[in-house]
Structure 1
C-alpha cells in the first residue's frame, strides 16, 4: 500500500474526502468539529480544534502526515513540523480549488483514479444544479453572513455556490478576499443599500438568529427582512472547503432560491 498510513486530519474536509474515497483506515485522529461523516466521530480520536490542537496526543498517534487548512492553522502546523511530523496545509478558496483538493489528496494517498472519479461526480452534480438555476425567471440577490459581530460576508467558494444555485452574491468584491478580517463589513448599512432578496446565515459554530438580524437598525427596509427570507445554512454544510459544500450545502442554497423564485413568479 502506498502513501501515508497514519494521517491526522486537523479539519473536517480531509476526513470527509478520505471516507468518500474508502481510505478512512489511514485516519488516526480528527478535528473535534468533525460531523461528516457521522461514523468518523464514533471511530476516530478527536485531537484538534480549528486554532488549537493537542500536540502531545497527536504525537502519541505517531502520524506520518497531518492535513490542515489555511493560515489559521499555521501555528499548529509549525509546532508539528518542529516535532518532525510531515504537514500539508491546503489553502484553496474556490469551487475549482475544492475539486482540485480532492484530486490532490487522492494522489497523495495513492488513489488517483478513485479521486478523479469522485471529483468528476461532484462537478457533474454542480452542473445539474447550474442547469436547474438557468430555468429561473429571476435571480435573487443574496447576502451571506458568516459571522454576526462583526458582520463577515461569505468566502469565495460560498459566493460561487450561490451563483451556481441561481443567486447573485450581494458582496462579490469581498468574496475574493481570502482572509475573514478582509470580509468584515465596516458599515452594516451597506447591506440595506444593496437590498438583498434573501439573507443566508451560517455563523461558524453557533446558531443563526434571524430575529436578531431582522432587528438591526434600518434592516426592516431590506426586501429579505420584509418578506421573511432569512435562512440558516448549518456551518458544517457550507463553511468547510470540501465535499459537503459541493453537495448538501449548495443543494440547500438552491432549494431556498427556487422556493423564493416560485413565490415571486
Structure 2
C-alpha cells in the first residue's frame, strides 16, 4: 500500500506552489502548472501548462483528474469557482508578506505530509533573509526606493516587495500603498507624487513585459528625480519578485540587495 499522504494529483495555477513542491521533493504530485512558470526550469519540460494567471483551460484541468488545485489571490476567484463547481478541491492562498510566504511554505508542506521538510526549507530561507538584513545594516545610508509593478497606469509594489526593499537596506517610498492587497489600490493616480517623493533608486518589474528604463526616464518631469539623474533605474524580473514564494526570498531579494549595495558603494 502506498504511504503517500495528502493530495496526489495537484494542479498549480501559479508558480509558487510548483517551485515549493519541487524544493520539497514532491514534484511527482504535480500534474499541471501555470504557463507563466519558469522556476524550476524542468517544470516547464515535465508538466503540462493548463492556466495563465487570470484564466485557465478548465476542461484540460479536469482531464488531469486533480484532487487539488492551488492558486493565489482574489484574481483567481473565477477560476476557483469554476473548478469547485466541477467538483475539484481548491486552495486559494492570499498571503502578502514575507512572514506570509514562510507560513505558506509550512502550510503547503503540511498539506502534502512533509511538514518537517517544509519547516527546514522555511528556516533555511529565513536565515538567508536575515543574512541579507545584517549585511544591509552596514550600508552608509538608506536610499529611497520606488518599486514599479506596472507602468500604465503606474502601480507601486505589494507588501512583500516593500518588506524586501527594507530588509535589503532601502525604504519604499509608498509604504502606505504597499499595505493595500489589491493592485487597483496601489495605482499612483498622480505621477507627480513620485517626483515629490524623489526616489534615489527606481526598480521596475513589469509583469509580463520588459522594463524600459529609457521610457521611464523620459516621463514628464522625471528628470528632476534623483534616481533618473544618477542613472539608478534597474529591472528585477517579475518571476523573481512578484510571485509570493521562495524565489522572492532568494534571487529576488538578492537582486534588490545588490542594487542597493552598489548605490551605497557610490557613497563610500
TM-score tier, shorter chain, comes to: over 0.9
Answering whether residue 80 of structure 2 is matched by residue 77 of structure 1, we say: yes
Answering whether residue 194 of structure 2 is matched by residue 191 of structure 1, we say: yes
Q: Which residue of 2 aligns with 1:208?
A: 211
In structure 2, the residue corresponding to 1:143 is in which secondary structure?
strand
Query: Unmatched 5+ residue regions in structure 1?
Result: none
What TM-score results when the alignment is normalised by the length of structure 2? 0.99
* Aligned-residue CA RMSD (Å): 0.3
Q: Which residue of 2 aligns with 1:38?
A: 41
In structure 2, the residue corresponding to 1:47 is in which secondary structure?
strand
Q: Which of 8, 17, 39 lines up with 1:14 in the alignment?
A: 17
Q: Which residue of 1 aligns with 2:112?
A: 109
Answering whether residue 228 of structure 2 is matched by residue 220 of structure 1, we say: no
Measure, in 1, the Cα distance between the counterparts of 2:207 and 2:30: 25
Measure, in 2, the Cα distance between the counterparts of 1:46 and 1:142: 35
Q: Which residue of 2 aligns with 1:28?
A: 31
Measure, in 1, the Cα distance between the counterparts of 2:203 and 2:178: 15
Answering whether residue 171 of structure 2 is matched by residue 168 of structure 1, we say: yes
Q: Which of 24, 47, 51 lines up with 2:50 in the alignment?
A: 47
Answering whether residue 59 of structure 2 is matched by residue 93 of structure 1, we say: no
State the 4+ residue runs in structure 1 displaced beyond 2 angstroms.
none
Q: CA deviation at 1:264?
A: 1.9
Measure, in 2, the Cα distance between the counterparts of 1:110 and 1:86: 17
How many aligned residue pairs are there? Answer: 265
Measure, in 2, the Cα distance between the counterparts of 1:251 and 1:18: 22
Answering whether residue 195 of structure 2 is matched by residue 229 of structure 1, we say: no
CA contact (8 A) 2:140 2:267 kept: no
Measure, in 2, the Cα distance between the counterparts of 1:190 and 1:210: 19
Measure, in 1, the Cα distance between the counterparts of 2:135 and 2:240: 20
